[in-house]
Every structure is written in structure tokens, then in C-alpha cells.
Chains A and B, each alone.
Chain A
């Protein structure tokens, strides 16, 4: 008797069980991962620090204690000394705040992706929980989507919450008209975070699907990022003496994209050499890393029989 036969037992669950499965997986996994102190500290750290620093900077500026010049570089002693005399160009403030955060956020996001993403599938494979998932009316896609949502929650909180906090602080403290005036800057400040979310998310979950132990997944993820970073720098600086080879590293590629989409002068990108990387090469790198990771994940999920 087919299950869609009218005489079959009435179904009183959701009309499409799989539609809610991803949300159920994500919400439960987020709760579980938040039990890890390191992860909890990291995701709370970013937006809180962003709010505190933004408020502090805005407060100091409002009181005329700090000046940020038009170039948007960090405040120095002479800047502070002249803060009373010169007001800043407000269009650079948000960019300045973002610039303060993004290099360090992007570095720390690797840690968040590793610790939040590594266990997501590896743990299921090790504990043979996949058998329980796929004895439910959910598709492989729903399962993977749930895991992605979980990781996006953490990476999003870490990479997207700070710009949002800064923007809200900016709107609250800079007076009328700021929200609309700074919307473009705000929008651009979300792009690097979104790109990093996709790339690190795909790579972390792809790696997680390859191994059965969480700590192995963490090591492999860090290993790939580090190896690509050192390989890119070695090829670009030593072997070929061509900055295009920096695109081998997803980390460098994201840094280059960040320097482009945010209105930050190239000289403020942490590594000036990265600024000489061709932008299209950086986008290609990010696309290939993300696409490759997703392809690996799809291949793995399709190939592996869940409990064999």
C-alpha cells in the first residue's frame, strides 16, 4: 500500500516534514554547541566588543576627545590631541570601525568555523547518528542544510553581528539622517562577513564529512587554511614573485575582498602585499574554495552509505 494512498493513516505532522527538519536540526545543534565555553565566549565576544568599542569611539567623538581624519586611519596621539579642534568626516566613521574589527574578526572566524563546524557531521558519523537521521522523512539536503544553518548562526553572529551593532550604534549616536546616509557603508561591511561565512562554512562542513573524529576535523581544517596560506605566500613571495599566487590562500583572498568592498585605503590592509593581489583572482579563489568544498561535501554525502 503506497503511503500516499488515501486509505493510509492520516498524517498529523507538518505538511512537509522535511521543510522543518533543517530548522529543527539547526536549533538543536546550536543549543548543543553553545554548551562549549570557548565557542560561547567567541560568539559573544565579537558583538559585545563591537558595541563597547563603537559606543566608546562615538562617545569620545561626541565629546570631541578623538579625531579621525578623512583617511580613516586609527587614532594616534596627535589625533587625540587635536580632537577638540577638528571634527571627523562622518562618512568614514563606520568604515573606520569596521576596519578596526575585520582583520582580527576574519582571523578569529577561522577558529569559530573550526570548532563549530568540525563536529557537525564528523560526530554524526562517529556516533552513527546518521542512521537515526535518515530513518526520518528527511532528505540528505535537509540534513546538510540544517548543519549549514548551525554554522551560519555562529559565523553570522561572529562576522555579521559586529557591523550591525556598529551601524545601530552609529545611527543612535550620530544623529538624524545617519541611518540612510551610512546604509551603503553598512551594506558593504556585511559583504566580507557573508563571503567568509560561505567559504569557511562550506570548507568546515566539507572537512567534517571526511573524517569521523571532531578533533581530526579541526586539525584538518586548520591544516588546510594554514597550508594554503603558507603555500600562497611562498609561491607569491619566493618562487614566482607574483602576488597573484596569494589567491591560493582563501584567507588572503577574503582579506583582499574586504579591502575592496569596505572603503578602506589599501595601506590599511594588514598586509600591504595582499593589497596587490588582483581582485578578480581573489573572487575566483573564494568561489573555487567554496564550490570545491561544497562539491566535496555533496560527493561525500551521496557516496557514504550512512551506516555501512
Chain B
């Protein structure tokens, strides 16, 4: 395992940052989700050893990150806030921070240049950072995080301020890191961004970890909330009658060329539907599970 949180709590004076978090971070991409103020940044700072827990323990690669800074030789960190020397060029900035990993100046230069190329900032890397746009700042921060080819990449709101093309590039870069065997933890308050990158999530709200694991597993645990399924078909009334006979179906709403149903057992619907279609000759154009997205899961969790 990469990191563990064991009953971790963090207070900033009387303000709660994180409460009773017990989590294990597995290899792969993990999304850290929650609205602003949910405790995402506190979580990442604890993981990055930048603040110490008020209670409980954090382990990164089996060590306390606050006491054993050597664990960071394989960690790349992209902070949420801008943290620059504005008078430096982007290239100087990345080389400098790469050197802090113990690389010689020449090796750091090569690694930095490769990272800058990966974030597509080669042309602007010799400009001073003070002239950079928000998106370029995010990219140069990402370059310094990946330059030393870390095993664990911690990205705090990496897509903030980026245009769609840059967002896509960063998402692809996260996928590349994952495919190369790195573990990536990416936080965001925009759910669909994370949804595109991973199915493994940690959902946070008001300083608490509400759920963590694979998205479908989390949804499966939310028994209180029936699943909503929308079917587009040619004969919704007849299909609705058949579906109501299935166990677990709670309600069906009929629309002109579609029906919406709620069920506690969505898998039964998906299993039975091919038989219904074949036996009765219905045409089903589309099946859509309406509330398995992170948006719906999150809404249920904080309700």
C-alpha cells in the first residue's frame, strides 16, 4: 500500500480540518472529492507531511512523512495555491526544484526539460513566471511535480484555470503516470473531472471522509436511495407493465418514448431486460443509469 491514515484528525485551533479519517491509498489513480472546505487540502497536506495530524497517524511508504523527509524523494506534489518565485523563468523554477531531489545540475536540467515538454510549455519556459497565465502556472507546477519521475503524484486541484485542451492534456498525463505504474491522488471539487480520470474515489464533506473505494461499490452501499434507470424504447407502457413485475422495482414513470424507473435491484433489471426484449419484441434504444455518477453519489452521501 502507498499510504495509510489511521483515525487521523486535524484541527486548526477551533476549526476542524479533518475528523477521524481512516483510509488506505492503493496504487492507481484515486480521486479526492468534495466541495470547497471539505478538507481535501488538509488531507493532502497531511499526506505530504506538511502539517502534522492533531490525532492519529499518517504513513507514507511505511513512514511518518513529518519525521522522515526522505520518503519524498519519490513523491511529486502540485499545491493548490501558486507557489512561485515570480522572477524566475519556468525552466529555472523546475530545474531548481528538481535539484532539491538531489540530482546534479546537469541531470536536473535534462529531467526538467523533459517534464516541461510533457506539459507542452517548451516555448514559454524561458519567460519569467510573472508573465504566465493561470493555465501556464498550473502546467509549470505540474512539470515540477513530475520532473523527477515520482512514484506517488499528489495533485491538489490540478485542472483549475485550464482551458479544455490543457485539461485534456493533463488528464492524459495522469493516465500516462498511472500506466507507468505511478500512484496518483488528484483532488477536485468538480466531480466530472475526476470521474473522467478514475473510478476510485474518496468523498469528503465538512472535514469527514464520507466514503472511499470504487464508485460502483459506494453506490451499491447506498441502499436508502433506489437506483434510477431510464430506458428509451418504442413501447414504454407495455414495457413498464413487464418491468413492474420484477422484484425490487419501486416505481415507473412513463414518458413519450421512454420510461424512468426506480429499483433497489438494478442488476435484476439489466439481467431481465434482454429476455423481455426478445420475448415481446420491444425495441430498446438506450439504457441509462441516472444516479450512479459521482454527482448523485455525493448528493446522497451529504443528504
Chain B residues 53-105 with CB under 8 Å of chain A are 61-63, 69-77, 79, 81-88, 92, 96-97, 99-105
Residues of A within 8 A of B69 (CB): 18, 134, 136-139
Asked whether A20 lies within 8 Å of B102 as measured between CB atoms, the reply is yes
Chain A, range 1-59, C-beta contacts under 8 Å to B: 1-3, 5, 8-9, 11, 13-21, 24-25, 28, 32, 35
Q: Measured between C-beta atoms, what is the minimum distance from A91 to chain B in Å?
A: 45
Instruction: Kindly state whether residue B221 has any CB partner on chain A within 8 Å.
Output: no
- Contact B101–A13 (Cβ < 8 Å): yes
| Segment of A72-80, A124-132, A160-168, A267-275 in the binding face | A124-132
| CB-defined contacts of B104 to chain A, threshold 8 Å | 14, 20
| Count of chain B residues near A, Cβ 8 A | 44
Whether B144 is near chain A, meaning CB under 8 Å from some CB there, is yes
Is B296 an interface residue, CB under 8 A from the partner? no
User: Given A18-B102, A131-B50, A307-B45, is A136 in contact with B79 using a C-beta cutoff of 8 Å?
Assistant: no
Contacts of A5 in B (CB 8 A): 62
A-B pairs with beta carbons under 8 Å apart, 27 shown = A1-B61, A1-B62, A3-B62, A3-B73, A3-B74, A13-B148, A17-B101, A20-B102, A20-B104, A21-B99, A24-B99, A25-B100, A28-B92, A32-B87, A32-B88, A127-B82, A127-B84, A127-B85, A131-B77, A133-B100, A137-B69, A137-B101, A137-B102, A139-B69, A305-B52, A307-B45, A308-B45
How distant is B111 from chain A, measured CB to nearest CB, in Å?
10
* CB atoms of A132 and B51 under 8 A apart: no
Q: B207 within 8 Å of A by Cβ? A: no
Residue-wise, chain B 33-51 has the 8 Å CB interface mask toward A (1 for contact) of 0000000000001001111
> Distance (Å) between the CB of A78 and the closest chain B CB?
53
- Complex CA gap A130/B83 in Å reads 8
Q: Is the CB of B103 within 8 A of A14?
A: yes
Given contacts A305-B51, A307-B45, contact A128 B101 (CB under 8 A): no
Taking a contact as CB atoms under 8 Å apart, the answer to whether B101 and A132 are in contact is: no
Chain A residues in 8 Å Cβ range of B100: 17, 21, 24-25, 133, 136-138
A8 / chain B contacts, CB cutoff of 8 Å: 61, 74
Kindly state the separation between the CA atoms of A20 and B106 in the bound complex, as whole angstroms: 14
- Segment 237-270 of A: residues with Cβ below 8 Å from B: none
CB pair A132 B77 closer than 8 Å: yes
Which of B76, B79, B83, B103: most chain A Cβ within 10 A?
B83
Task: Select which of A17, A131, A307, A308 is within 8 A of B73 by beta carbon.
Answer: A17
**In the docked arrangement, what's the CA distance between A138 and B96, Å?**
13
8 more A-B contacts (CB under 8 A) besides A127-B83, A134-B49, A136-B100? A3-B63, A5-B62, A9-B74, A13-B148, A17-B73, A134-B72, A135-B72, A136-B72
B102: which of A17, A135, A305, A308 is its contact (CB, 8 Å)? Answer: A17
CA distance A161 to B247 in the complex (A): 90
What's the nearest-Cβ distance from chain A to residue B144, in Å?
7
Residue of A nearest to B88 (CB): A32
Nearest-neighbor residue (CB-CB) of A133 within chain B: B100
Across the two chains, which residue of chain B brings its CB closest to A139? B69
Q: Is the CB of A3 within 8 A of B71?
A: yes
Known: A20-B99, A127-B85. A308 touches B12 (CB 8 A): yes
B227 at the interface (CB under 8 A from A): no
B61 touches A128 (CB 8 A): no
B interface secondary structure, majority: loop
State whether A129 touches B83 (Cβ < 8 A): yes
Please name all residues of chain B whose beta carbon is closer than 8 Å to the beta carbon of A137 when the two chains form the complex: 69-73, 100-102
Interface residues of B in 92-133 (CB under 8 A from A): 92, 96-97, 99-105, 107
User: What does DSSP make chain A's interface, helix, strand, loop or mixed?
Assistant: loop
Residue of B70, B74, B100, B144 with highest tally of chain A CB at under 10 A: B100
CB distance from A141 to the nearest CB of B (A): 10
B151 within 8 A of A: yes
Contacts of B62 in A (CB 8 A): 1-3, 5
Does A157 sit within 8 A of B, measured CB to CB?
Answer: no
Question: In the complex, A106 Cα to B97 Cα: how many Å?
Answer: 35
Across chains A and B, which 9 residue pairs bring their CB atoms closest together, nearest first? A17-B102, A14-B102, A135-B77, A13-B102, A2-B62, A137-B73, A24-B99, A136-B100, A305-B51
Q: Is the CB of A132 within 8 A of B102?
A: no
> Is A306's beta carbon under 8 Å from chain B?
yes
Contacts of A128 in B (CB 8 A): 79, 81-83
Least Cβ–Cβ distance between B88 and chain A, in angstroms? 7
Q: Which residues of A contact B144 (CB under 8 A)?
A: 132
Closest to B27 in A: A1
Give min CB distance, B81 to chain A, whole Å.
5
Given the known A-B contacts A9-B151, A131-B79, A308-B51, are A2 and B61 also in contact in the complex, defined by CB atoms under 8 Å?
Answer: yes
Task: Let me know if A24 and B82 touch, CB within 8 A.
Answer: no
Across-interface contacts of B50 in A (CB, < 8 A): 130-131, 134-135, 305-308
Which residues does chain A contribute within 8 Å of B77, judged by CB atoms? 131-132, 135
Across-interface contacts of A16 in B (CB, < 8 A): 102
- The residue in B50, B63, B74, B86 that gathers the most chain A C-beta atoms within 10 A of its C-beta is B50
B105 nearest CB neighbor, chain A only? A24
* Min distance, Cβ A36 to any Cβ of chain B, angstroms: 10
| Distance in Å: Cβ of B130 to nearest Cβ of chain A | 11
Closest to A31 in B: B92
Q: How far is the CA of A83 from the CA of B83 in the complex (A)?
A: 62
Q: Report which of B49, B79, B87 forms a contact with A35, defined as CB distance below 8 A.
A: B87
